[in-house]
Amino acid sequence: MSAVLSSRFKEGSILGGILLLSGSCIGAGMLALPVSTGLGGFFPSLLWFVVAWLFMTTTSLLLLEANLALGYDLSLISLAEKTLGPIGKILTWFFFLFLFYSLSIAYIAASGGILQGVIFDFFQIPFPPWAGSLIFTAIFSVFLIIGTRSVDYLNRFLMVGLFIAYFALLGIGSFYSKLELLLAHHFSYSIAALPVIIISFGFHNMIPSLAMYFKGDPRRLRTTIIIGSFIPLVIYLLWQAVMLGIIPAQGRAGLLDALDKGQAATEALRSIVQGNIVVYVAQIFALFAIMTSFLTQSLSLVDFLADGLKIPKEKFGRVVLVGLTLIPPFLFAFLYPGIFIRALNMAGGFSAVILFGIFPALMIWVIRYKQKEEAPPILPSGRVILIIVVFVAVAIFSLEAAQEFGFSFIPKNVEAVP
């Protein structure tokens, strides 16, 4: 190996890459996981978490292989254009926008109820959820307009608060968790949560950035992706164990009721365990989770729109970009305040499985078998694995489409659940 190549492969910290990748997963999506998986139960959800992790880790390695084969400094849009042509580029554009806006709508919709609960619990000041969403959006629009550096510093502070609140919640909540609630299950209802679980492992937009960070070193990138995606899996399962052990699936203010209302898990917890310290810690955790996710997703959307629309990220141009980023999802969340869970479902069941599932498999098919690039495979596999990936992605897409068209795996009538 040449000295130049050797020094190139020493670029980037594996620990730093792991934290970047894990941090991009962990956030507000956690607030939907117990609600979506609650009726199915803790142990059936274990299966779907492992399935989702394996699927998303596999597709991320395929995407990485495409990235390194064609140039580690290329964006996902460029990768799609070089492998799937102009139509692939247009579809990637569309599904990226759909994904970003769906997530923004979900976070803004959830922020209203969470901020309302926090302010009422700590200061006894009542106000409507839409006002909470407006305050939330207005405050963070200021940081986005100021620029990336202000977002970076604020996000560091928020991430510290997020992890402190998370571990405090695990420690305190474990004393209130009940084994009988964890053992309750309805396996036939559990598959409905798969789209939300999928989006919780949606770190693929980080792959091009990580490829540049590590200067195309395949070994370090593979290690970073596997470990960095496994950490959220562990964090999610511990979170599931605490929340599903405290909040009953059925009954007034249970998880099924929260699912029907499109509420975050911490709002259900607040209704079940009133005036308890675990509620206050959970509310703080929820607030940090929403803020970190909303901030990073909004910044990504600002950058994406600036690149696509060729609007300069300076002065008035940045104000326009922030407006395009925040105003449409705020209006949608204002008109449909209970859309938190549904927006995450659509983000996972539609955009994520196409962008981060089908497209990477198709890219590798083109690179290996049509363009016949001789890059070493990051994920040693043949056509069978690529076909399985596409099949699983189409199955999840069909699952979400069926639910959007009115076929639900979750009963609307709580009394119908045995």
pLDDT for 11-36, tens place per residue?
A: 668 888 888 788 888 887 888 899 99
Pairwise CA distance, residues 69 & 265, whole Å: 42
Instruction: Map tokens 């609007």 to a residue.
Output: 311
pLDDT of amino acid 416:
47
Pairwise CA distance, residues 177 & 174, whole Å: 5
Pairwise CA distance, residues 185 & 40, whole Å: 5
* CB neighbour class for 298 (10 Å; exposed up to 12, middle 13-18, buried from 19): buried
Instruction: Map tokens 């934290």 to a residue.
Output: 19
Instruction: Map tokens 């919709």 to a residue.
Output: 109
pLDDT of amino acid 7:
39
Q: Which amino acid is at 336?
A: Y
Pairwise CA distance, residues 386 & 62, whole Å: 9
Chain centre to alpha carbon of residue 261: 20
Q: Token digits for 272?
A: 């079940």
| Residue 407 DSSP code | -
Domain residue limits, the chain? 22-416
Pairwise CA distance, residues 188 & 399, whole Å: 13
Could you tell me the end-to-end alpha-carbon distance of the chain, in angstroms, rounded to an integer? 64
Pairwise CA distance, residues 40 & 88, whole Å: 37
pLDDT of amino acid 411:
61
Which residue positions in the chain have pLDDT lower than 70?
A: 1-12, 148, 274-275, 375, 410-418
CB contact at 8 A, 40 and 247: no
Q: pLDDT of 36-89, one tens digit each?
A: 998 889 999 999 999 999 999 999 999 999 999 888 778 888 899 999 999 999
Pairwise CA distance, residues 117 & 133, whole Å: 12
CB contact at 8 A, 293 and 151: no
Q: Token digits for 290?
A: 């929403």
Phi/psi of residue 375, nearest 5 degrees: -80, 140
Sequence length of the chain is 418
Chain centre to alpha carbon of residue 334: 22
Q: Which amino acid is at 268?
A: A
Among 176, 177, 139, 171, residue whose Cα is nearest residue 158: 139
* CB neighbour class for 231 (10 Å; exposed up to 12, middle 13-18, buried from 19): middle
Q: Which amino acid is at 128?
A: P
CB contact at 8 A, 409 and 256: no
Pairwise CA distance, residues 28 & 264, whole Å: 9
Q: Within a 10 A sphere around the Cβ of 330, how many other Cβ atoms? A: 22
**In sequence order, which residues have a C-beta less than 8 Å from that of residue 261 and are 6 or more positions away?**
338
Q: Within a 10 A sphere around the Cβ of 350, how many other Cβ atoms? A: 21
Fold adopted by 22-416: Amino acid/polyamine transporter I (1.20.1740)
Q: Token digits for 327?
A: 């105003």
DSSP run (H or E) holding 366? helix 359-369
